[in-house]
Structure 1
Amino acid sequence: MSVSTEPHDRFVIGVDFGTLSGRALVVRVGDGAEVGTAVHAYRSGVMDSVLAADGRALPADWALQDPDDYRDVLRHAVPGALAASGVAADQVIGIGIDFTACTVLPTLADGTPLCELPELRTRPHAYVKLWKHHAAQPQADRINALAHQRGEPWIGRYGGKVSAEWQYAKALQLLEEDPEVYTRAERWIEAADWIVWQLCGAETRNVCTAGYKGLRQDGRYPSRDYLAALHPGFADFVQKIDGPLAALGARAGGLTAQAAAWTGLPEGIAVAVGNVDAHVTAAAAQALEPGRLVAIMGTSTCHVVNGTEVAEVAGMCGVVDGGISAGFWGYEAGQSGVGDIFGWYVEHSAPDGYASHELLTEQAAAQPVGAHGLMALDWWNGNRSLLVNHDLSGVIVGLTLATRPPDVYRALLESTAYGTRMIIEAFAAAGVPVDELIVAGGLTGNPLLMQIYADVTNRPLGIIGSAQGPALGSAIHAAVAAGAHPDVAAASAVMGRVDRDAYLPDPGRVRAYDALYAEYRRLHDHFGRGGDDVLLRLRDIRNAARSVALPTQSGEAALRLEVMA
């Protein structure tokens, strides 16, 4: 398709900040045509074993990033996408961003990241904690236990458990392990809001992350009394996260001169309020209507669906008024490991001759359902929903001397589909209908995986019509912030796209998977709901064996941090 770039055409840019890189996408506001894209990899990537600044070892389950890598995406990917598009800079009217979440960092009052202060450059807690930083599980356990003990009204809105990935557990870990850095942190802010601050020069907080990750419900955050009961020094934590709150699709401000120089875009154009990569994708997939669940499948999976009523769903990540789009209650759930599990097997476990997704998929597809005799639990990176326990680990049962690599690979694919079915059934049981599954993300190109999901969930499966769902969703929100469309729903109808009913469930395979899913549930409950805590005990043994000494920067005795999840 030829793309007109006449002067009357208007364009927006969506920037998707992922786990390892950021992508910029130039999109025409009139029809959603994607006319140019560019990717920039983070220089420091994910710091999960050593701190890049000094090479010091990090404890297990840490995952840090350098915020200047995010600025580099603005400096490189945005101009690169603009150049690839052939669009003139003065035709761009707005920019929007999305981020992985909860990815959070401590800053000064002016937004300066603490890790950029020379005296804190080698303090691990001064850096961004990526969504997959799971070392705050003990703090999350205490947050949950105290909330139930006190009968805190907000805990039910999060399925009864707050995740170790979210703002409070990570901040409490910071306070307890490096109180000096905690005290220096005047702001504790989602990376989505921080990068918008960098773009427009004004701090905003988006309703999505404030609700799902910041525990803001019914206009309030958790009380000072509750926070003080967790730790006396935590009583004032809300002061670090409270700030101007804006709806999704709102204009956060205009592009500053500095950000214009980074990006090559006109100063003053609209900067949309930040958003989460999964939630923003619902608009790109034309899935804002209730009952259409979007599964954004990549290294992990996030499940989002709108509902007309508020309900408490056991094990969900949260329900937030307007958290996906205005006028609905937005529900979120997720799986901490999906594509990462398949990648782990291919890169580290598949024998020579089988280390290929394409070969393993081809051979796994030739099997009848259940022929491999295996069952796996999809907990290689812990469990986000429904158990909300990142100390859990993966399981495969049924292995024999006759088991071959395609058998294991298919069992891993199926395990993630079973995990998604658990989530769908939890929503349905709470009165939140899921009639249709729409998949976005990098795993949509695997037809076997997509068909397995349709058969396991017994629902029609659609595929988003864009390979860059989050970036397109951010562009849609940028178009609304710039005034090109009246609201996100209207922009989604014009700029979004989806191939509905791309995969339909096969009745015979559905019956076969029903029987296997029953076995998955038994295994799930045995290892995840108290039948046997062997997975937790094994992790404790591992952590004790891998304790790491981290010296403080104050000249005092070395601070010994036990390696904790």
Structure 2
Amino acid sequence: MGDRPRYVVGVDFGTLSGRAVVVDVADGREAGCAVHPYRHGVLTQRLPDGPPLPPDWALQHPADHLDVLRVAVPAALADAGVDPADVVGIAVDATSCTLLPTLADGTPLCDLPELRDRPHAWPKLWKHHAAQRQADRINALAVARGEAWLPRYGGRVSAEWQLAKALQVLEEDPAVFDRAARFVEAADWIVRRLCGRETRNASAAGYKGLRQDGRYPSAEFLRALHPRLDGLLARLDGPLVPVGGRAGGLTVEAAGWTGLRPGTAVGVGAIDAHVTAAAARSVAPGRMLAVLGTSTCLIVNAEDYRDVPGVCGAVDGGVTAGLWGYEAGQSGVGDIFAWYVDNALPAGYADRARRLDTSPYDLLDSLAADQPVGAHGLLALDWHSGNRSVLADHELSGVLLGLTLATRPEDIWRALLEATAFGARTVVDAFADAGIRVDELTAAGGLTRNRLLMRIYADVLGRPLHVVDSVQPAALGAAIHAAVAAGAYPDVPTASDAMGAARRETYQPDPARRIAYDALYAEYRALHDHFGRGGTEVLHRLRALRSGPR
């Protein structure tokens, strides 16, 4: 190729859209970008042309993922003006655990006409929380049996993960479970469509599949949950490939979709937040990354293993080879803000935003920005989508205290922003209490554009908050992994050093606001423990009333 530049493509499959970037292998410069919204979005109310869905369901349409390959990748190449001959690799990341039941050849069960109206035949999105009762039974049995893998997940398995979702399928629609030859993570399914070869990424298997020390939970454990659940193990077969590995070469069919050359290196699939660590240059031990989007993931590497209560997983080599990768997070952040604007904001505020030619979000930020800490008299719990860390309970729900007749919409807005920052601090404190170094904190994702939110996070966390200078950091992280899969770099840390994004800015905590937030955070923790650790079961009882008999 001589001195011609080389490029890689990274594709990030999010909750509502897919994003593709074309990146220069030499320095990580983003040469082209395209975004394609999913036509079907998130299926929470009913199946396409099908029956309604029960509460707490969240499904996706696999055709939306293929549309991203057909639309966003060629558009990004056109935006970059890059010759496909100069593209040496492509890699993808996706939300996790987003689980597809498929035939042996990878066909999603929801594509079969006879199963199209069966909800369990569809891919369960990460935020499908209807398997909480299955997760509760998994946790109780694991505790009773003293399963050695349980502390690696903070002592609790989440309803968002593979085992709870698969158990729900078996119990509620055993015919679908029997028809499924495979249960596959979305990222791995997309990679198979790209290269024609089935692989399993070691990261998702470790964090969402409970695979530790070379094996999944035992057949004996699975049979104790359900006499036929040990059949899940055969449905998880497939070559396990470490992060940054090469899954295969692009097929002729996939080359036709994407506009790339057949044989182009295809990287193994990955979890969205995990590849973002490479984009943020946060793979070294002690460099914590907060990926702020519809939900939040907090990722940090460490040299050794420690028990961290409420962690979503500690996996050897799960984020970066040779290091223990720790993941925790919050089930709702951007989703909470969108809920408030879409469902609870008075019409007058939306009208005012239109007159000012601004968004309701920016209007609320401007009205709330100058409030002294605590002046609104409110305190909220950020559990509108349940709690991921440190309680791992998706039957919890949001709480708002302190309302008076003088409370204004901007007061509630700021209280919700603060609640998500308090939730993040709860997670960071859990790592620190367990002896895991958190030397610096970097933020990435769409919510970093909210300057008020970033200021609140810095003040609440009491530490500098660095912001990644990338519009599509997860897609950039996937591109970095593509460069490793293509052989341009020997490993992910080396590629991250060369191709990772710079810092856009750093938010420094204000000493006075930090002290004020310390006092408010103490009240949050008291509220957190009362509602989340057995002080009252009212949130669970309310959820049961809302959901109805099961």
1:520 equivalenced with 2:524 (yes/no): yes
The corresponding residue for 1:191 is 186
- State the distance in 2 between where 1:310 and 1:250 align: 24
1:364 equivalenced with 2:359 (yes/no): no
- State the distance in 2 between where 1:353 and 1:25 align: 39
Which of residues 222, 225, 234 in structure 2 aligns to 1:230? 225
The corresponding residue for 1:107 is 102
For residue 316 of structure 2, what is the amino acid of its counterpart?
Answer: D
SS of equivalent to 1:331: strand
**Per-residue displacement from partner, 1:220-252 (whole Å, max 9, x unpaired)?**
110110000000010221111132111111110
The corresponding residue for 1:22 is 18
1:51 equivalenced with 2:47 (yes/no): yes
Given that residues 294 and 334 in structure 2 are in contact (C-alpha distance below 8 angstroms), is that contact kept between their aligned partners in structure 1?
Answer: yes
Shift of 1:500: 7.4
The corresponding residue for 1:494 is 498
**Per-residue displacement from partner, 1:109-128 (whole Å, max 9, x unpaired)?**
11111111121121111110
- State the distance in 2 between where 1:260 and 1:38 align: 18
Given that residues 283 and 301 in structure 2 are in contact (C-alpha distance below 8 angstroms), is that contact kept between their aligned partners in structure 1?
Answer: yes
**Per-residue displacement from partner, 1:191-242 (whole Å, max 9, x unpaired)?**
0111001100111111100100010111111011000000001022111113
The corresponding residue for 1:61 is 56
- State the distance in 1 between where 2:349 and 2:310 align: 36
- State the distance in 1 between where 2:395 and 2:300 align: 27
Which of residues 31, 34, 42 in structure 2 aligns to 1:35? 31
Which of residues 341, 344, 353 in structure 2 aligns to 1:346? 341
1:530 equivalenced with 2:534 (yes/no): yes
SS of equivalent to 2:23: strand
Which of residues 380, 398, 404 in structure 1 aligns to 2:402? 398
- State the distance in 1 between where 2:293 and 2:364 align: 18
Flag as ranges the 4+ runs of structure 1 deviating above 6 A.
none
Which of residues 457, 481, 489 in structure 2 aligns to 1:485? 489
Given that residues 19 and 68 in structure 2 are in contact (C-alpha distance below 8 angstroms), is that contact kept between their aligned partners in structure 1?
Answer: yes
Given that residues 469 and 504 in structure 2 are in contact (C-alpha distance below 8 angstroms), is that contact kept between their aligned partners in structure 1?
Answer: no
The corresponding residue for 2:353 is none
The corresponding residue for 1:170 is 165
Given that residues 44 and 65 in structure 1 are in contact (C-alpha distance below 8 angstroms), is that contact kept between their aligned partners in structure 2?
Answer: yes
For residue 276 of structure 1, what is the amino acid of its counterpart?
Answer: I
**Per-residue displacement from partner, 1:428-486 (whole Å, max 9, x unpaired)?**
11111112111100011111110111110111100011110100000000011111111
Given that residues 306 and 330 in structure 1 are in contact (C-alpha distance below 8 angstroms), is that contact kept between their aligned partners in structure 2?
Answer: yes
The gaps in structure 2 that reach 5 residues or longer are 351-359
Identity across aligned pairs (percent)?
A: 65
- State the distance in 2 between where 1:341 and 1:107 align: 32
The corresponding residue for 1:430 is 434
**Per-residue displacement from partner, 1:296-344 (whole Å, max 9, x unpaired)?**
0011101100011111111110000111111110000010000111111
1:414 equivalenced with 2:418 (yes/no): yes
Q: Mark the CA change 1:396 to 1:127 in structure 2 (over 3 Å): closer, same or farther.
A: same
SS of equivalent to 2:478: helix
Give the TM-score normalised by structure 2: 0.97
**Per-residue displacement from partner, 1:105-154 (whole Å, max 9, x unpaired)?**
01111111111112112111111000011100010000000000000000
SS of equivalent to 2:349: coil
Given that residues 249 and 480 in structure 1 are in contact (C-alpha distance below 8 angstroms), is that contact kept between their aligned partners in structure 2?
Answer: yes
- State the distance in 2 between where 1:68 and 1:401 align: 48
- State the distance in 2 between where 1:232 and 1:316 align: 29
Given that residues 460 and 501 in structure 1 are in contact (C-alpha distance below 8 angstroms), is that contact kept between their aligned partners in structure 2?
Answer: no
- State the distance in 1 between where 2:244 and 2:282 align: 16
For residue 247 of structure 1, what is the amino acid of its counterpart?
Answer: P
The corresponding residue for 1:260 is 255
For residue 22 of structure 1, what is the amino acid of its counterpart?
Answer: G
1:314 equivalenced with 2:309 (yes/no): yes
Shift of 1:6: 10
**Per-residue displacement from partner, 1:345-383 (whole Å, max 9, x unpaired)?**
111111123241111101111101111111000001100
Give the TM-score normalised by structure 1: 0.94
Shift of 1:7: 7.2
Shift of 1:501: 6.3
- State the distance in 1 between where 2:303 and 2:429 align: 18
The corresponding residue for 1:336 is 331
**Per-residue displacement from partner, 1:158-202 (whole Å, max 9, x unpaired)?**
000000000000000000011011011111010011100110011
Given that residues 7 and 91 in structure 1 are in contact (C-alpha distance below 8 angstroms), is that contact kept between their aligned partners in structure 2?
Answer: no
- State the distance in 2 between where 1:501 and 1:198 align: 39
The corresponding residue for 2:457 is 453
- State the distance in 2 between where 1:506 and 1:238 align: 52
Aligned length: 541
For residue 153 of structure 2, what is the amino acid of its counterpart?
Answer: Y
Given that residues 50 and 117 in structure 2 are in contact (C-alpha distance below 8 angstroms), is that contact kept between their aligned partners in structure 1?
Answer: no
